[in-house]
A and B are shown apart, each in its own frame.
Chain A
Amino acid sequence: MASAVIVPERENYLNKEYGIRSWLLTVDHKRIALLYLISITFFFFIGGFFALLIRLELLTPAGDLVQADTYNKLFSMHGMVMVFFFLIPSIPAVLGNFLVPLMIGAKDLAFPRINLLSWYLYIIAGIMMLHCIVTGGVDTGWTFYTPLSTAFSNTKVIEAGLAIFVAGFSSILTGLNFVVTIHRMRAPGMTWSRLPLFIWAHYATSIIQLLGTPVLAVTLVLVVCERAFHLGIFDPTRGGDPLLFQHLFWFYSHPAVYIMILPAMGVVAEIIPCFSRKRIFGYKAIALSSIAIAVFGFLVWAHHMFVAGISLYSALIFSALSYLVAVPSAIKVFNWTATMYKGSISFSTPMLYAFGFIGLFTMGGLTGLFLAALGIDVHVTDTYFVIAHFHYIMVGGAVMGYLGGMHYWWPKISGRMYPEWLGKFAALIVFLGFNLTFFPQFILGYMGMPRRYWQYPPEFEVLNVLSTAGSTILAVGYVLPMVYFLWSMRYGKLADDNPWGAAGLEWQTTSPPPTFNFDQEPVVTWEAYNYDQIPAPPEEVTVER
């Protein structure tokens, strides 16, 4: 710590300007990333607080902690906050914002002001959502199924719908910015086949955001119109069709799952080669599988509707297509695993998260095979089996990827190192807590416990107690990183420019980077992940206990 005082600090994006104005009016993609980091962390803890209340209510079979209406609002707002205000912006808006220009050797995103605008839209949407929550909340579930949402619920449906509508534009603008940046702003020599896989993943994600989110916006506007002006779009008593809503909603909301998981896959594809000291196995296969997921992801929405009343034959087609989208995901898992073969593997914190990601994503993906099987889906859809499945993907997958990425790039973002042993400890806690929380829910689901139940028959109690116990452990695992990241900003060891000995342009500039990222425009003459040409960092070589 003493040595930190002697070295005169270089000018970087953090110390270039001070004061609240320099942050709120910044057009620097790195500062905007930090604004996003603070805002989504805030919403993560709100959503997490709702989750803990849900788990506490389910500790006993009787509905005894909160009222039924309150419980319904809790799970609705847990879903809306976590999906639209945490998961969708998480990796793209924080890590993507910070890293996309750095990784391709650009000074900033293509549209820096639009980037700031998308943060402001997010904040406006966030305030609308908070206003909705504190003035009574909403109880339709995050899915807004009609005609419950348009004609029967007497909660703040319009407020919640408009908040998500605005948040959607934030997401669209981020996607637009990434697509243009990746096409137009790559440094000389940074060809498509040299792009880091993190960039490929964000490119695929951005395409989904651009094409899918407008459909969600249209759908929410229709819900608001039917509720406010009594148009007959979804309500059958006015000549509407409630299934139309489900088609429109899932046309966005299934691809939205890939908005959440693809960036996390991109993070893992950076971490594993770095801590295996190897070029990634099957670069092309992984890059193309991201695009394949983005395309096929749009063709499977009705697998959420196998018991909803769609025709037998459309169910058959959507089931078959759902298996097609599983193939590129399997390809990724195999390639990540193969990358470790004959590597030189270090067990640093980001790598532990990557291991966790592969494990949990694999289980989430494999249980997806159960749900895509028509005969099984009839029994387990709308039960806790589905809850467990999508939490394995969206929390076990996306959040593990997010935390892994935060640890991996934290030295670059903050210029400081976090305490390594605490990082490893937290990664272990998250992994154990997660499995204890969500694995019992697979069994609960097959036993027949429906989702969104405030009270439940006593035979489901034991597994629910296990799940609630796990959730408290998981909460500790999520609070820890926030605490030591904050601690490290002041007390952490100063980070080298490239503490992991990583390939990738973002490691060739200072930690933290200067405002325009590179002192000279980089020229790329090598393939991505050229780890055979980069020495491993010295302190990592002597990892032996």
Chain B
Amino acid sequence: MFDNLPLWPERASAGAGNVDALYIFLVLLAGFMSAAIFTMIVVFALRYRRQPGREAEPIEGSNALEITWSVVPLGIFMVIFAWGAYIYFQERTPPRGATEVYVVAKQWMWKLEHPEGQREINELHVPVGRDIELIMSSQDVIHSFYVPAFRIKQDVLPGRYTTAWFRATKPGVYHLFCAEYCGTQHSGMIGQIVVMEPAQYEAWLSGGPANGSLAANGESIFQQLGCPTCHRSDTQGRGPNLVGVFGKPVLLEDGRTVIADENYIRESILSPSAKVVSGFKPIMPVFQGLVSEEQLTELVAYVKSLSQSPSGAVGVAASATGTTQEPKE
């Protein structure tokens, strides 16, 4: 019933309705509270306006009232907190098996790469009903990926990956804004999300010029940089075997254990000595400044593809490993 009121943007993702529901609840609550306080002020001001012959009654306060109007609001606040936290939890937890789209932000444009290799600038085509996870990094300053129609926003940082996810529910074209001030053309760093019916999307996907999947491109960079000399797919290499590493806990030389996520892979490429895997020496050269943000993205996609079974999701390089055995330490 609210769809035709121009008081909020279109509701085009699975999560948008939840956000609006809490918003409407809060608008009603805030409206009620404001109305109650304003009414009291107006009523008191008129009813007790200064008149000859009437004195103010000395009233000092009331502990019962103080406790009531501390505890009751706190209770209401905790409900809002829990509701808001529940939505946030969903927003921040991408479903398993979501399609991964890599986003690289720079002053002042968005570069987006589909796992199939399609690249777009300031535009992202997605099908209705598919979970899309955005894996984002920035080449320069902090940006923020904001799609009002999906009610999602996530800052995009230099030097690390941040993620967000959505499932579009309604075909259409929606604003993509940069929401974190990023310099001169901040307000020009806008694009659009094109949500299509799945059939149309497949047509779009096959129509565009693909330049090889992300992971395949990553593999060729992997070869060019000479990585396979050490990172062999057996246990004889001077560096750890990367097959099956992604998403698993890794024991480090200093005794800590970290999960091998995107940020870990990224850091291990750019400054390898930061977290050395147990049993290996810190002999890997530093790649900071030698690989571009997009190459880095492709390398990470390649390492990730080494942990997917060949029959699995899209984008696995066919010649990736030649081995599907259980991952080792």
Contacts and interface: CB of A to CB of B under 8 A. Distances in A.
Interface of A: 63, 68-69, 72, 139, 141, 143, 145, 147-148, 151-153, 236-237, 239, 241-243, 276-279, 281-285, 306-309, 312, 315-316, 319-320, 323-324, 326-327, 330-331, 333-335, 337-338, 340-347, 355, 358-359, 362-363, 366-367, 369-370, 372-379, 381-383, 443, 446-448, 450-457, 459, 531-532, 536, 540-544
A456 B187 CA distance: 7
B280 interface: no
A448 B9 contact: yes
A316 B85 contact: yes
A456 B18 CA distance: 27
Given A68-B188, A236-B159, A450-B187, 12 more contacts: A68-B185, A147-B141, A148-B183, A236-B160, A279-B58, A333-B37, A334-B69, A337-B37, A347-B45, A369-B77, A448-B175, A536-B50
Nearest to A140: B181
Given A369-B26, A543-B50, A375 B18 contact: yes
Given A343-B56, A374-B84, A375-B86, A323 B183 contact: no
B44 A341 contact: yes
Interface in B151-166: 151-155, 157-160, 162
A346 B56 CA distance: 12
Given A312-B92, A374-B84, A532-B56, A383 B179 contact: yes
Interface of B: 6-9, 18-19, 22-23, 26, 29-30, 33-34, 37-38, 40-41, 44-45, 48-52, 54-62, 65-66, 69-70, 73-74, 77-78, 80-81, 83-92, 107, 140-142, 144, 146, 148-149, 151-155, 157-160, 162, 175, 177-188, 190, 271, 288-289
Nearest to A149: B141
Contact of A319 (B41, B85, B90): B85
A469 B101 CA distance: 43
B43 to A, nearest CB: 9
A375 B107 CA distance: 28
Nearest to B16: A379
A383 B146 CA distance: 10
30 contacts: A68-B188, A72-B186, A151-B141, A152-B183, A237-B159, A242-B158, A277-B50, A279-B58, A281-B60, A285-B61, A307-B144, A309-B154, A309-B160, A323-B77, A327-B74, A330-B73, A337-B37, A338-B65, A341-B59, A345-B44, A358-B41, A359-B37, A369-B77, A370-B26, A372-B81, A378-B154, A382-B179, A450-B146, A453-B186, A532-B56
B78 A323 contact: yes
B107 A152 contact: yes
Contacts of A283: 60-61
A327 B44 contact: no
At the interface, is chain A mostly helix, strand, loop or mixed? Answer: helix
A343 B81 contact: no
Nearest to A147: B141
A62 to B, nearest CB: 11
A280 to B, nearest CB: 8
A281 B59 CA distance: 7
A447 B73 contact: no
Contacts of A372: 80-81, 84
A370 B23 contact: yes
B184 A366 contact: no
Contacts of A239: 271
Nearest to A75: B181
A373 B180 contact: no
Contact of B48 (A148, A279, A342): A342
Nearest to B161: A309
A162 to B, nearest CB: 22
Given A148-B141, A373-B81, A337 B40 contact: yes
Nearest to A535: B55
Nearest to B136: A309
A145 B69 contact: no
Contacts of A323: 74, 77-78, 80-81
A237 B44 contact: no
Given A331-B69, A378-B91, A448 B148 contact: yes
Contacts of B180: 145, 382
A457 B80 CA distance: 32
A448 B140 contact: no
Contacts of A331: 66, 69-70
B66 A285 contact: yes
Most A-side CB within 10 Å, residue of B18, B44, B54? B44
Nearest to A374: B88
Nearest to B271: A239
Nearest to A148: B141
Contacts of B60: 279, 281, 283
A459 B154 CA distance: 23
Contacts of B37: 333, 337, 358-359, 362
Nearest to A452: B181
Given A282-B66, A334-B69, A342-B48, A375 B91 contact: yes
Contact of B140 (A147, A345, A363): A147
